[in-house]
Amino acid sequence: MTPITSSAPSGWRNSLPKKPLIWSAAVLATLTILAFFGLAPLVKSLLTKSLSATLHRDVSIQKVRINPFILSVTITSFLIKDRETSEPFVSLSEIFLNLESSSALGRSLFLKEARLSDASIRIVRDQDYSYNVSDLLATDPSKESSPAGPPLFSLNSIQIVDGSVDFRIS
């Protein structure tokens, strides 16, 4: 019986850098698992806290899913409550954002697609002719943009599926 031999030259198998390839694959697998499962709760927490503080309204998000391979983010059950009451100000059942790969390279944000599902906004005009969004529209001159200017932004496709606007006069 003859031993089984490889058709590759004997020195070729030994010259491959096995350890760096194994380490690279392990690091890639670890980062992928962290991006799929660990990054989503962190993004959910940061978004909820920063939006609540910035908008001075309660913001809630049920779930965030991130796909690092296609650079997409899906936010499920996004809700911003009204400042004065506990009624919804803005609600969306799903927000889907798909980034261009060039966004990861610089300080610009290029969205290939943005899809808003079951979007609704509730605008209320009070007796004094102010609106429930008046505080968001007011500008503060002390918070002007930096001398470097705002970051670049590009949005190529916006889809609003089943949207509504509720305008009330109180």
Rg (CA), the chain: 25
Question: Positive or negative, the Cα torsion across 17, 22, 23, 24?
Answer: positive
- Domain span at residue 41? 17-137+150-169
Per-residue pLDDT of 79-111, as tens digits, reads 999 988 889 999 999 999 998 877 666 667 788
Let me know if residue 145 belongs to a domain: no
Task: State the total domains in the chain.
Answer: 1
- Segment 39-80, tens digit of pLDDT: 899 999 999 999 999 999 999 999 999 988 888 999 999 999
In a domain, 11, yes or no: no
pTM, two decimal places: 0.74
In a domain, 38, yes or no: yes
Domain annotation covers residue 144 = no
For residue 4, being part of any structural domain is answered with no
What pLDDT is attached to residue 147?
Answer: 60
Helices (H) and strands (E) in the chain, counts: 4, 8
Cross-strand pairs, 122: 166
